[in-house]
Amino acid sequence: MSGPRETEGRDVVLRVENVWKNYHGHHVLRGIDLSVDSHEVVCLIGASGSGKSTLLRCVNLLEFVDDGVIHLDGEEITDVRADPDDVRKRIGMVFQSYNLFPSMTVLGNITLAPRKVHGVGRARAEEEARELLERFGLADKAGAYPDRLSGGQQQRVAIIRALATRPRLLLLDEVTSALDPALVGEVLEIIRELKATGMTMVLATHEMGLARDIADKVCFLDGGVLLEQGPPEQIFTEPRLPRTREFLRRVLEARRV
Amino acid sequence: MTHPSGGGTADAPGSPADAYGALADAYGALADAPGDYSEGGWVKSDRQRERERLRRRRDLRSSSVATVSTVVFVVLVVSVVTASPGWPRVKETFFDLGQFTGAFPDVLAGFLLNIKIFLIAEPLILVVGLLVALVRTLHAPVFFPLRALAVLYTDVFRGVPTILVIYLVGFGLPALEIQGVPSDLATLGVIALTLSYGAYVAEVFRAGIDSVHPSQRAAARSLGLTQGQAMRFVVLPQAVRRVVPPLLNDFVSLQKDTALVATIGPLEALRQAQIHAADTFNYTPYLVAALLFIALTIPMARFTDYLAARSQRRRGA
Ligand SMILES: Nc1ncnc2c1ncn2[C@@H]1O[C@H](COP(=O)(O)OP(=O)(O)OP(=O)(O)O)[C@@H](O)[C@H]1O
Ligand SMILES: [Mg+2]
């Protein structure tokens, strides 16, 4: 398997090369190239339907690419012989709609993967889960069922659940979109804290404020093409392409209520 | 509340997104400091007292209307039936107290066999149904023959009337004279009912599994759970919870269908009633059997209603 992990002294966690994906002949991703270094935070921005979620789902092998390759830590995960379950063990994913398991308590949700996938003993898994809950201000919710939590609390639990397996890479798909503005802040706080601890993350987001604040690199997707990428200062203040400028103008206008 | 407040810190000051952030801050502040409304000062207002009085009066009126209309209805039905020309004869053949008490012990003893058949068939049906439903969710190519078999099974046994299955199993299986095939009639009845109901219950389970949103499976797989683990720990628990009311409904129907086993001969309630009726040309024993079946199914039916109402309430909440 090819794909040098160390390039120019950088530690590349994720490398996406010329990835194509189509649904029923409709091309959703058109030759995406993207590279994510260790401890780097990458934000995917772009209009609805531009392919942000699809790209994340391809990285997590929830969808199979139609062409191109994806490397995780130098190993080709799009290889047909690669074990998807093994790849997903190393990648955490958080969804827009939380997707907590309603039949389990918060603690059950968080400890499921460590116990069943990573073979951690129950006592230790629960202890670690409680530590995480404590750290993110949810210690009193350990025994609660998801339907008794607010949206913001559910999303924070979903993030903790993804963290509990100590993933190499965390994918976050519009984790604040379903939330009341009052609850957005508490979720953003967690993401900032994760960045501070050096977690490697790829986020699809409509929150330009978040992208500006925490991204090391912002990628603008348009119709399945990664049109422009660069540091947030550059993308938000002097985008090179007219398409990018147009998109940002519209987003900021829409937000100016 | 322990959450850190405010989403606005993400934005550079003066940016348009900042206005949005400020809004979020304002909301956050509201959520953090709920008003301090003590309940001690509340005195029920006259308007509320009047409202409650009217509500009580309305409730009282509705229940008295319900009672009166029920009584009128029952009196009407009873008088029409007892006034009919054939009533004395019907009363004699169906409502004979002497026959009732005479047949009761035998029919009750038979009924215990019905309960036994039911109690043994029910868990078997659950196991068969669940296995068949799970086999139908396996997508690996190796399992193709199994999957095809499961489809064939549900198609065939949902299509053939239960009473035919009982005939075929009851008379056909022993006729094969294979070593180890049971010849006990009640056992054959259990096998037939399991085959027939297993097909229905498999479809109920399958519908429950399909009703769990795909995002639940995606979340489970994204955590590294295998397909089997996702099914076992995430999908099935939700599916089973949802299908409990329809399953109980099937079991109410199974309880009375244990009487179909009478057609191949074991001495259960209906068979005992037939024997008594044949001796005396009086049909009261059938009434005994009917009452026993009702006594068993009504609690089950009410329990099903209760569970359905509870899940409805939960979804509404
Ligand atoms: N399973 C699917 N089957 C068919 N089409 C799909 C499927 N999933 C996504 N698509 C299509 O792919 C395109 C890209 O979808 P995607 O969800 O990746 O967009 P997105 O950038 O995440 O949008 P949003 O910001 O609204 O979440 C859309 O046109 C969508 O209709
Ligand atoms: Mg999306």
Residues of A in contact with B218 (CB under 8 A): 57, 62, 95, 99
Closest CA to B243 of B267, B271, B212, B218: B212
User: Which atom of ligand 1 is nearest the CA belonging to A174?
Assistant: 27
The top-scoring range by mean pLDDT among B4-18, B88-102, B187-201, B242-256 is B187-201
SS3 A83: coil
Give the torsion sign (CA, B140, B142, B144, B149): negative
Owning domain of residue A183: 6-256
Using 50, 70 and 90 to split pLDDT, how confident is the model at A145?
very high
Average pLDDT for A94-112: 94
Question: Tell me: the pLDDT tens digits for B69-121?
Answer: 999 999 999 999 988 888 888 888 888 888 888 888 888 888 999 999 999 99
Whether the CB-CB separation of B190 and B124 falls below 8 Å is answered with yes
Nearest to A181 among B7, B216, B233 (CB): B7
Q: How many domains does chain A have?
A: 1
Provide the mean pLDDT of chain A: 90
Whether residues B224 and A103 touch (CB distance < 8 A) is answered with: no
* A120-124, A167-171, B58-62: the lowest-pLDDT one: B58-62
Contact B21, A207 (CB under 8 A): no
Predicted confidence band at A130 (pLDDT cuts at 50, 70, 90)?
A: very high
- How is residue B306 written in tokens? 């209760």
Question: In percent, how much of chain A has pLDDT > 90?
Answer: 74
Prediction pTM value: 0.79
Task: Give B259-303 pLDDT, tens digit per residue.
Answer: 888 888 777 888 888 888 888 888 888 888 899 999 988 888 888
Q: How far is A257 from B28, CA to CA, in rounded Å? A: 18
Cα separation values, B312 from A147, B32, B251, B316, Å: 15, 33, 21, 6
A 136-195 residues with CB < 8 A to B = 137-138, 152, 156, 161-162, 165, 176, 180-186, 188-189
Probe target for ligand 1 pocket from A24, A32, A53, with the most ligand atoms within 8 Å of CB: A53
pLDDT interval class at B232 (50, 70, 90):
very high
Query: Do residues A188 and A210 touch, judged by C-beta distance below 8 A?
Result: yes
**Alpha-carbon distances of B178 from B97, B153, B181, B187, B191, rounded to whole Å:** 48, 22, 6, 15, 16
Beta strands in chain A (DSSP E): 6-7, 10-23, 26-37, 41-46, 67-72, 75-76, 91-94, 169-173, 201-204, 217-222, 225-230
CATH of the domain at A117: 3.40.50.300
Q: What is the arithmetic mean of pLDDT over A187-216?
A: 91
Q: Which residues contact A251 (CB under 8 A, 6 or more apart)?
A: A206, A208
Question: Measuring CA to CA, which residue among B193, B138, B140 is closest to residue B163?
Answer: B193
Please count the other Cβ atoms lying within 10 Å of the Cβ belonging to residue A81: 6
Q: Is A113 on the interface with B (CB under 8 A)?
A: yes
- Residue bearing the CA closest to ligand 1, atom 31: A49
How many angstroms is it from A48 CA to the middle of ligand 1?
A: 8
Distance between the two ends of chain B, CA-based, in angstroms?
23
pLDDT at B249: 86
Q: Among partner residues A85, A112, A188, which is closest to B233 by beta-carbon distance?
A: A112
CA A113 to chain B, closest CA, distance in angstroms equals 6
Instruction: Note the ipTM here.
Output: 0.86
How long, in residues, is chain B?
A: 317
The answer to whether B166 and B97 are in contact (CB under 8 A) is no
**Rounded Cα distance, B268 and B265, in Å:** 8
Phi then psi for residue A223, to 5 deg, are: 55, 40
Instruction: Answer whether residue A72 is part of any domain.
Output: yes
Q: Please write down the HEC assignment for all residues of chain B.
A: CCCCCCCHHHCCCCCHHHHHHHHHHHHHHHHHCCCCCCCCCCCCCHHHHHHHHHHHHHHHHHHHHHHHHHHHHHHHHHHHHHHCCCHHHHHHHHCCHHHHHHHHHHHHHHHHHHHHHHHHHHHHHHHHHHHHHHHHHCCCHHHHHHHHHHHHHHHHHHHCCHHHHHHHHHHHHHHCCCCCCCCCHHHHHHHHHHHHHHHHHHHHHHHHHHHCCHHHHHHHHHCCCCHHHHHHHHHHHHHHHHHHHHHHHHHHHHHHHHHHHHHHCCCCHHHHHHHHHHHHCCCHHHHHHHHHHHHHHHHHHHHHHHHHHHHHHHHHC
Cβ–ligand 1 contact at A53 (below 6 Å): yes
In 3D space, the residue among B111, B74, B107 whose CA is nearest the CA of residue B284 turns out to be B107
Instruction: Please give the pLDDT value at position B119.
Output: 93
Residues B160 and A138: their CA atoms lie apart, in Å, by 56
Atom of ligand 1 nearest to the CA of A47: 25
Instruction: Determine the distance from the C-alpha atom of residue B156 to the mean position of all C-alpha atoms in its chain, rounded to a whole number.
Output: 23
| DSSP E strand stretches across A24-99 | 26-37, 41-46, 67-72, 75-76, 91-94
Q: Find the mean pLDDT for residues A203-220.
A: 92
Is A1's pLDDT higher than 70?
A: no
CA dihedral over B278, B279, B281, B285, signed as positive or negative: negative
B313 or B233, which is more confident?
Answer: B233
Interval between CA A254 and ligand 1 midpoint (Å): 21
pLDDT the model gives residue B1: 40
Quickly name the fold that domain B106-316 has.
MetI-like fold (1.10.3720)
Collapsing DSSP to helix, strand or coil, A244 comes out as helix
Residues of A whose CB is below 8 A from B5: 185-186
CA-nearest residue for atom 17, ligand 1, is A53
Q: How far apart are CA B169 and CA B190, in angstroms?
A: 10
* Per-residue pLDDT tens over the stretch B2-47: 444 444 444 444 444 444 444 444 444 444 444 555 556 788 888 8
What does DSSP assign to residue A140? G
One-letter amino acid at A181 equals: P
Which ligand has the nearest atom to the CA of A55?
A: 1
pLDDT of res. B219: 95
Q: What is the mean pLDDT of chain B?
A: 84
Which residue's entry shows tokens 């827009």? A96
How far apart, in whole angstroms, are the C-alpha atoms of residue B19 and residue B12?
Answer: 10
**Ligand 1 atom with minimal separation from the A29 CA:** 14
How far is A70 from A29, CA to CA, in rounded Å?
13
Cα nearest neighbour of B23 on chain A:
A181
Whether A119 is in a domain gets the answer: yes
pLDDT at B38: 54
Residue count (chain A): 257
Ligand 1 contacts CB of residue A214 (under 6 A): no
Mean pLDDT over residues A189-193, rounded? 89
Query: Average pLDDT in the A100-127 region?
Result: 95
Ligand 1: which residue has its CA nearest to atom 8? A54
Q: Do A187 and A179 meet the contact criterion of CB atoms below 8 Å apart?
A: yes
- List, in order, residues 6 or more apart from B183 with CB less than 8 Å away: B174
B219 with A99: Cβ contact below 8 A: yes
> Who's near B127: CB < 8 A, 6+ residues apart?
none
Closest alpha carbon within chain A to B22:
A181
**Unique residue bearing structure tokens 């009703």:** B211
CB B199, CB B153: distance < 8 Å: yes
**Looking at residue A126, what is its pLDDT?**
96
Interface test with B, best of A101, A110, A214, A235 (most B CBs within 10 A): A101
Looking at residue A223, its pLDDT comes to 92
With CA atoms as reference, report the closest residue to A170 among A147, A202, A195, A192. Answer: A202
Could you tell me if the CB of A28 is within 6 A of ligand 1? yes
Ligand 1, residue A204: give the atom nearest the CA: 22
- Residues from chain A contacting residue B24 (CB–CB below 8 Å): 181-182, 184-185
**What's the confidence (pLDDT) of residue B23?**
46
Q: Say yes or no to pLDDT of B196 above 90.
A: yes
Looking at residue A37, what DSSP letter applies?
E
Q: Give how far B197 is from chain A: nearest CA, Å.
A: 28
Quickly tell me which residue has 């790829």 as its tokens. Answer: A202
**A1 within some domain:** no
For residues A204 and A197, the answer to whether their CB atoms sit within 8 Å is no
Model confidence band, residue A71 (pLDDT cutoffs 50, 70, 90): very high
Determine the average pLDDT of the residues in B48-55: 90
* Residues of chain B positioned with their CB less than 8 A from the CB of A253: 16
Question: CB of A175 within 8 A of CB of A211?
Answer: no
- Please report residues of B whose CB lies closer than 8 A to that of A113: 223-225
Read off the amino acid at residue B73.
Answer: F
